[in-house]
């Protein structure tokens, strides 16, 4: 294991049975190290195993082969003290207010009412929802619901934040705003973030590195480094350097996306 590896995925493979009971290789010999405090984005065609990787990292799924280590510790079961996850679906409790939803992870951990309220209010402010503490999910926009989900994940103070297409269900303008907010939050907290997206611009804007995956079975095709300095703001998207990197990413993905479409047609 590399000395600078905060997260280390070693020879991860996942095989499952299809509806016809034929074996399907979802991931094959996937190796990756992630540094502490890094913002790493995983991008690839549909069905390449991106979400499966996050579930394995979260301890929610065991690989068919290979091991996951966080700070040198082998991960086999969920570790909510180290890892929190934000999904594309908001997964909020409709009967709880914003404050109640953000507090819930601390409540499960047995934190006192006063402390969990203080910590929850701090994270609500961090995600820009101060003043909405008593609102219920049905009173919030999609973007606001996702802010609540991010605040809830941050409130338990994880070392690693896994984000599975968290802005995928939102319109382009809201995605841009939340991308800017996420960048601000990451710059303030320096959590280690592993982020899955289908948006090339989102990947280039947010990331320190971008992992490009092949069509199934998912492997690493290329890792692109993003050298834009911090703090980053949306204006960087108008630069030639940003567009050059986005086009490079598109070229890397094009053939893999065609392969994935052919796989779907044969399924």
pLDDT of 9 over the 50 cut? yes
Distances (CA, A) of 160 to 64, 156, 180: 23, 11, 19
Task: Quote the number of domains for the chain.
Answer: 1
Structural domain includes residue 146: yes
pLDDT at 1: 47
Structural domain includes residue 180: no
CB 48 within 8 A of CB 30: no
pLDDT of 104 over the 50 cut? yes
Neighbours of 2 (CB within 10 A): 8
CB 159 within 8 A of CB 135: no
Q: How confident is the model at residue 4 (pLDDT cuts 50, 70, 90)?
A: low
pLDDT at 20: 79
Q: Which residue segment(s) compose the domain that 141 sits in?
A: 83-157
Q: Indicate the pTM of the whole model.
A: 0.92
Structural domain includes residue 6: no
pLDDT of 146 over the 60 cut? yes
pLDDT at 81: 85
Query: pLDDT averaged over the chain?
Result: 91
Structural domain includes residue 205: no
Structural domain includes residue 172: no
pLDDT of 3 over the 60 cut? no
Distances (CA, A) of 15 to 27, 68, 155: 7, 17, 35
- Give the residue among 32, 62, 11 at the shortest CA–CA distance from 213: 32
Structural domain includes residue 145: yes
pLDDT of 266 over the 70 cut? no
Q: How confident is the model at residue 113 (pLDDT cuts 50, 70, 90)?
A: very high
| For residues 191-199, average pLDDT | 95
Length of the chain: 267
- Give the residue among 5, 7, 87, 36 at the shortest CA–CA distance from 189: 36
Structural domain includes residue 241: no
Give the β-pairing of 7-17 and 23-34.
Answer: antiparallel
pLDDT at 31: 96
- Tens-place pLDDT, residues 203-252: 999 999 999 999 989 999 999 999 999 888 889 999 999 999 999 999 99
- Give the residue among 95, 131, 111, 81 at the shortest CA–CA distance from 103: 111
Q: How is residue 218 annotated by DSSP? A: B
Dist CA 164 CA 59 (whole Å):
15
Dist CA 112 CA 116 (whole Å):
6
Distances (CA, A) of 204 to 47, 160, 198, 219, 226: 21, 20, 11, 20, 7
Structural domain includes residue 90: yes
pLDDT of 51 over the 80 cut? yes
pLDDT of 134 over the 60 cut? yes
């Amino acid at each position: 294991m590399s000395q600078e590896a905060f997260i280390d995925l070693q020879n991860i493979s996942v095989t499952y049975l299809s509806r016809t009971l034929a074996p399907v290789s979802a991931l094959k010999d996937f190796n990756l190290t992630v540094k502490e405090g890094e913002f790493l984005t995983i991008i690839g065609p549909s069905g390449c195993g991106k979400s499966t990787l996050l579930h394995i990292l979260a301890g929610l799924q065991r690989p068919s082969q290979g091991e996951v280590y966080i700070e040198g510790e082998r991960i086999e079961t969920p570790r909510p003290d180290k890892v929190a996850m934000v999904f594309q679906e908001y997964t909020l409790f409709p009967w709880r207010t914003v404050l109640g939803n953000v507090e819930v992870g601390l409540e499960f951990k047995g934190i006192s009412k006063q402390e969990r309220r203080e910590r929850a209010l701090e994270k609500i402010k961090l995600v820009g929802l101060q003043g909405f503490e008593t609102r219920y999910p049905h009173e919030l926009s999609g973007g606001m619901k996702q802010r609540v989900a991010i605040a809830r994940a941050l409130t338990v103070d994880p070392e690693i934040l896994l984000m599975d297409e968290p802005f995928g269900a939102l319109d382009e303008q809201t995605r841009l705003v939340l991308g800017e907010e996420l960048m601000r939050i990451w710059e303030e907290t320096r959590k280690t973030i592993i982020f899955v997206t289908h948006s090339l611009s989102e990947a280039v804007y947010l990331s320190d590195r971008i992992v490009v995956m092949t069509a199934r079975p998912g492997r690493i095709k290329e890792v692109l480094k993003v050298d834009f300095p911090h703090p980053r703001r949306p204006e960087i998207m108008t630069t030639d350097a940003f567009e050059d990197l986005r086009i490079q990413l598109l070229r890397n993905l094009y053939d893999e996306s065609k392969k994935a479409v052919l796989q779907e047609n044969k399924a």
